[in-house]
Amino acid sequence: MDYNSLEEWEQRAEFLREQIRICSGIFPDLPRTLPKPVITRKQVYMQVVIESLYFESMPGVFVAGNLYYLLKYDAPMPAVLNPHGHWEHDRFERSELADIPSGCFNQARNGMVSFSYDMVGRGESRQFPHGFRKRELESYGISLLGLQLFHSIRCLDFLESLPFVDHTRIGCTGASGGGTQTFLLSAVDDRVCAAAPVDMVSFGKQGGCECENVPGLRIGTNNVEFTALTAPRPLLITGCTGDWTCHIPTQEYPMLKEIYDLYQKGANVAYYYCDAPHSYKKEVREYVCAWFLEQFFGTESREYLPEEAFFLQEVDLKVYDQRHTLQQKADLNAFAKCVKEMKKSECRTLMLTHRGREQIKKALQVLFCVEEIRENPKSYHGISETRLPCNLLAGTDTEILRQEIEGMDTNIHTVRVCSRYGERQIEREKKHFDVFHRSETAEMVGQIIRKAERLKEQGYGKITLYSEEDLIWESGIAFVLCPQIDACQIDPETIERKKGKYFYQPGFEGIGGIQTIKELMKEKRSE
């Protein structure tokens, strides 16, 4: 990561945060009410209170987990979120590779409130499968990764609602898939004041599960840049010899250190490295716990308590029993319908204000991978005062038209800017292909925009965009997003009826779809 200044990085960081929020589907913001936990079991073990509880994250969708905290405390305590990885027993994992309850229990013994919660479709939270990719859901930005990230945000809301938690000292740690959740949550929510993703941060490996991947998420970026979004807040990354984090001392850590040095906060990033397989072993858990203790209590004389044997098992930690049950299967279609309506409502609200419309346009730029565009006023063939106009006709083979303008015989160039759908052979069978690559639709929009940019640079004046029927939506989007296109011969009132059969862009409907484009087209024409 080669950034020459803090300003340059922060511009990039702002874009990356938006990329995560928009591609994961947590933009527009979904309504959030104060979590109301239902405690189904409460017990005390070695002066640590352990609660089994659940709360509603959105209508009809629940998060289950365990809360650990000291029975006696003098003041509000710091807290740590613990998203688990893809272990055989999920948040109940009690193996040499990972012992989630023991790690949480030890955090509590050391004066921190610890909350361990289920992945979607794992543990006791099996309302939906751990993976539910559908084309219609993706068009609205509804994904496993997005739902899990929203749950993590709601877990922060839950911790903030507890009177014995210090809101200014909340951390997050998890290994493997839990590590992905850790750095994504820290990237989009600055309430995470310290983050420790374990055995996940890698320049080469980006995560293998749907809960770590969503279309468009890593176009032009990677997990190291996402992790750098924690800067300048304290960050600890861990790696081991037995997985893709084996280069942390020589590759990922130096890259992150460069970003922290831009803030003059190089001491805030650290790494721990050990000889081990992919895991969250005891020695790593102890190191991470001690690190959190240092971040939260600083120079205070607080002695670290090493991890001790913890004998409670899965049956002792479960949330649901015969007295407390929930529908373990939820109607995915009903859930999707609820989310769609909430997104539509939020989009309509955003479109009512100038600031909201700018947010929508920014989201469209991210979805369609549009870089910031600046008009270049260069002259063309020495003509500066009366630069040649140009027509863009998307999808045709026509190259040049001659037309009389203002009594002068002047060339008006009509340029083919898009290849036909179907000419590109996308290897869709490759897992997560669309996580790293633009959709064919985004490519079409991009071709129109890039052509308009080049024509302006060559000195052409007014650029008018025409379109054939099968590319009319793409052309309308390009008109909205490209300041170099001055006019568009497309009727906003009829565009909705003329969607091309190949149009598909994940997340597009989630930010208003073609209705948003119609309104933005009208706005641009009125300027």
405 shares its domain with 458: yes
Alpha-carbon gap, residue 192 to 174, rounded angstroms: 13
Average pLDDT of 473-496?
Answer: 92
In order of 74, 113, 158, 172, 238, the CA distances from 163 in angstroms are 12, 11, 11, 19, 32
177 shares its domain with 34: yes
Name the burial class of residue 494, with classes exposed (0-12), middle (13-18) and buried (19+) by CB atoms within 10 angstroms of its CB: exposed
pLDDT, residue 336, reads 92
Name the burial class of residue 483, with classes exposed (0-12), middle (13-18) and buried (19+) by CB atoms within 10 angstroms of its CB: middle
**Cβ-Cβ contacts under 8 Å for 5 (sequence gap 6 or more):** 262
**Backbone phi, psi, residue 337, to 5°:** -60, -40
Sign for the CA dihedral angle at 273, 278, 281, 286 comes to: positive
Is 32 contained in some domain? Answer: yes
Which tokens in the block code for residue 40? 């189904």
The reported pTM is 0.91
pLDDT, residue 376, reads 33
Please tell me whether residue 187 adopts helix, strand or coil conformation: helix
52 shares its domain with 118: yes
More confident residue, 297 or 330: 297
| CATH number, domain containing residue 191 | 3.40.50.1820
* Residue 418 pLDDT greater than 70, yes or no: no
* Residue 423 pLDDT greater than 50, yes or no: no
Is 416 contained in some domain? Answer: yes
| Torsion, CA 140, CA 143, CA 149, CA 153, rounded to 10 | 40
* Residue 100 pLDDT greater than 50, yes or no: yes
How does strand 400-405 pair with strand 390-394? unpaired
pLDDT, residue 400, reads 45
* pLDDT tens digits, one per residue of 32-41: 889 999 999 9
pLDDT, residue 414, reads 65
Number of domains in the chain: 2
* Residue 458 pLDDT greater than 90, yes or no: no
pLDDT, residue 372, reads 42
Is 264 contained in some domain? Answer: yes
DSSP label of 280:
B
210 shares its domain with 262: yes
One DSSP character per residue, 42-59 reads: EEEETTEEEEEEEEEEET
CA atoms within 13 A on the CB side of 428: 6
Alpha-carbon gap, residue 375 to 268, rounded angstroms: 40
Question: Of 86-95, 129-138, 413-422, where does mean pLDDT reach its minimum?
Answer: 413-422
Name the burial class of residue 293, with classes exposed (0-12), middle (13-18) and buried (19+) by CB atoms within 10 angstroms of its CB: buried
Across-strand partners of 56? 62
pLDDT, residue 416, reads 56
Alpha-carbon gap, residue 9 to 259, rounded angstroms: 8
Is 321 contained in some domain? Answer: no
Alpha-carbon gap, residue 343 to 363, rounded angstroms: 13
387 close to 459: Cβ distance less than 8 angstroms: yes
Question: Of 256-260, 363-367, 390-394, where does mean pLDDT reach its minimum?
Answer: 390-394
In order of 8, 278, 384, the CA distances from 96 in angstroms are 44, 11, 73
Is 332 contained in some domain? Answer: no
303 shares its domain with 370: no
pLDDT, residue 375, reads 33
Boundary (domain end) residue, out of 263, 283, 313: 313
pLDDT, residue 371, reads 66
Boundary (domain end) residue, out of 313, 328, 363: 313
**For the chain, how many residues are written?**
527
- The answer to whether the peptide bond before residue 232 is cis (omega within 30 degrees of 0) is yes
Across-strand partners of 487? 464
Given pLDDT bands bounded at 50, 70 and 90, which one contains residue 396?
A: low
Quick count: other Cβ atoms within 10 Å of Cβ 426?
A: 13
* Residue 101 pLDDT greater than 70, yes or no: yes
pLDDT, residue 1, reads 73
240 shares its domain with 359: no
Average pLDDT of 213-232?
Answer: 95
* pLDDT tens digits, one per residue of 429-444: 567 888 988 888 898 8
Alpha-carbon gap, residue 35 to 212, rounded angstroms: 25
**Backbone phi, psi, residue 370, to 5°:** -90, 125
Question: Of 13-22, 140-149, 412-421, where does mean pLDDT reach its minimum?
Answer: 412-421
Given pLDDT bands bounded at 50, 70 and 90, which one contains residue 232?
A: very high
Is 435 contained in some domain? Answer: yes
Considering the chain, what percentage of its residues have pLDDT values greater than 90? 68
40 shares its domain with 147: yes
**Cβ-Cβ contacts under 8 Å for 98 (sequence gap 6 or more):** 84, 85, 87, 175, 279, 280, 281
pLDDT, residue 399, reads 43
> In terms of residue numbers, what domain contains 231?
6-313
265 close to 232: Cβ distance less than 8 angstroms: yes
Quick count: other Cβ atoms within 10 Å of Cβ 95?
A: 13
One DSSP character per residue, 311-336 reads: ---HHHH-S--SSS---S---HHHHH
Average pLDDT of 233-246?
Answer: 97
274 shares its domain with 413: no
Minimal CA–CA distance to 508: which of 335, 347, 337? 347
Is 93 contained in some domain? Answer: yes
Considering the chain, what percentage of its residues have pLDDT values greater than 70? 89
Alpha-carbon gap, residue 482 to 451, rounded angstroms: 10
Minimal CA–CA distance to 452: which of 442, 466, 441? 466
pLDDT, residue 185, reads 98
422 shares its domain with 494: yes
305 shares its domain with 386: no
Is 333 contained in some domain? Answer: no
**Backbone phi, psi, residue 492, to 5°:** -60, -25
Boundary (domain end) residue, out of 313, 335, 361: 313
Average pLDDT of 14-29?
Answer: 95
* Residue 202 pLDDT greater than 70, yes or no: yes
pLDDT, residue 322, reads 77
One DSSP character per residue, 89-154 reads: TGGG-BSSSBBHHHHHHHHHHTT-EEEEEPPTTBTTB-SS-S----HHHHHTT--HHHHHHHHHHH
151 shares its domain with 197: yes
391 shares its domain with 520: yes
For the chain, the average pLDDT equals 88
Alpha-carbon gap, residue 241 to 275, rounded angstroms: 5
Question: Of 222-231, 235-244, 258-267, 445-454, where does mean pLDDT reach its minimum?
Answer: 445-454
